[in-house]
């Protein structure tokens, strides 16, 4: 009999990649979408799974909705990838960010506790929990959290709620502390996709500038397709735990620009990039650099896709998409 998975965040990046991976592993996959308006399912279409997943209507901020869906479906595994995930917007949308990212998780866990207590739960956590905290320049499962944005604060609430339900009610719950991860279907509000889309437009003569904020920020970037495999593997362990998922390799925005322009055959990227202080955050996180040693030891997981290969793929796909549209 097929396992059943319930996946939220189906209009984002990770939901479709995870759904595709689960389908390839013979799961029956339910995907949550909101029906306040026509949802954008282009990411599902891009991965070619639009006819293979079962979309259901709901809202994680509505406890009645979550109770109804969990009681009806009783999934073997519940993956919460839904979030207000744009860090920069969280200062202006701090209440919405908290309602979705913090209270939404509480609604899901209460629904599981009350209606399907054998359901395993995965919470998409984030390296933004660390802020500028580190242990000898590295962030791992033992590094203290010091969030520096409303987004990170809401995710910290969700992290500890997930741990608390595990310790209080013996539910199978785990947090994946995921560092930055990207793909051709990353939202254009994120700096990686803003850059690769901008480079593609410059290559095709559709624009001549990309405007950015802090070029010196450093991140540990991986490929979303690799990271969803780690999510699934966490849920197959005898005992639940929390894991850092990353590449353990750090790159700057300047390196991202270099590789992006190189992928388009353009060398002098400084000519096309300008900075604007409006794009800088009120409280910057200057450096994120993780260690996936626990995941490698316990899950036998490690990243497969290099930073350069991921960036090249994103630029190539953006050029292809824009060429088709023009």
How far apart, in whole angstroms, are the C-alpha atoms of residue 195 and residue 257? 7
Are 193 and 314 in contact, with CB atoms under 8 Å apart? yes
Q: List the Cα angle 62/63/65 in 5-degree steps.
A: 70
* Catalytic residue status for 128: yes
SS3 for 216-240, per residue? CCEECCEEHHHHHHHHHHHCCCCCC
Q: How, if at all, do strands 251-252 and 218-219 pair?
A: antiparallel
Are 169 and 113 in contact, with CB atoms under 8 Å apart? yes
Any bridge partners for residue 275, and if so which? 212
Are 60 and 8 in contact, with CB atoms under 8 Å apart? yes
Are 204 and 319 in contact, with CB atoms under 8 Å apart? yes
Tokens of 279: 């794009």
How far apart, in whole angstroms, are the C-alpha atoms of residue 130 and residue 37? 35
Task: Check 128, 130, 229, 259 and give the catalytic one.
Answer: 128
Contacts 24+ apart (CB under 8 A), 63-66: 63/107, 63/110, 63/111, 66/107, 66/108, 66/110, 66/111
> How many residues are listed for the chain in this entry?
326
Q: Which residues contact 270 (CB under 8 A, 6 or more apart)?
A: none
Cα radius of gyration rounded to whole Å, the chain: 19
Task: Check 151, 172, 243, 259 and give the catalytic one.
Answer: 151
- Give me the DSSP letters along 13-49: SHHHHHHHHHHHTT-EEEEEE--SS----HHHHHTT-
Task: Check 126, 162, 192, 305 and give the catalytic one.
Answer: 126
Q: Of 141, 296, 161, nearest to 233 (Cα)?
A: 296
**Catalytically active residues, by annotation:** 126, 128, 151
């Amino acid at each position: 009999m097929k396992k059943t998975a319930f996946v939220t965040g189906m209009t984002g990046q990770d939901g479709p990649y995870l759904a595709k991976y689960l389908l390839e592993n013979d799961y029956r996959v339910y995907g949550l979408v909101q029906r306040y308006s026509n949802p954008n399912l282009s990411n599902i279409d891009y991965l070619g799974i639009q006819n293979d997943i079962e979309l259901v209507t709901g809202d994680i901020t509505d406890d009645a909705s979550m109770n109804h869906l969990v009681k009806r479906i009783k999934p073997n595994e519940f993956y919460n990838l839904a979030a207000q995930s744009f860090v920069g917007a969280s200062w202006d949308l701090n209440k919405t960010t908290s309602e979705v990212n913090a209270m939404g998780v509480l609604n899901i866990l209460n629904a599981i506790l009350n209606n399907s207590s054998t359901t395993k739960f995965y919470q998409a956590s984030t390296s933004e929990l660390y802020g500028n905290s580190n242990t000898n320049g590295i962030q791992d499962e033992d590094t203290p959290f010091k969030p520096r944005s409303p987004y990170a604060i809401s995710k910290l609430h969700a992290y500890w709620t997930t741990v608390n339900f595990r310790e209080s009610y013996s539910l199978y719950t785990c947090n994946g502390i995921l560092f930055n991860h990207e793909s051709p279907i990353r939202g254009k509000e994120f700096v990686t996709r803003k850059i690769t889309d901008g480079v593609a437009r410059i290559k095709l003569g559709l624009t001549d500038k990309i405007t950015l904020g802090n070029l010196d920020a450093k991140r540990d970037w991986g490929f979303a397709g690799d990271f969803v495999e780690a999510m699934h593997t966490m849920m197959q362990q005898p005992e639940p735990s929390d894991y850092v998922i990353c590449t353990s390799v750090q790159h700057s925005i300047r390196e991202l620009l270099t590789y992006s322009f190189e992928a388009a055959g353009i060398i002098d990227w400084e000519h096309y990039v300008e900075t604007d202080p409006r794009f800088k955050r009120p409280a910057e996180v200057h450096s994120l650099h993780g260690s996936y040693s626990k995941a490698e030891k316990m899950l036998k997981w490690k990243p497969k896709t290099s930073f350069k290969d991921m960036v090249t793929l994103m630029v190539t796909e953006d050029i292809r998409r824009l060429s088709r549209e023009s």
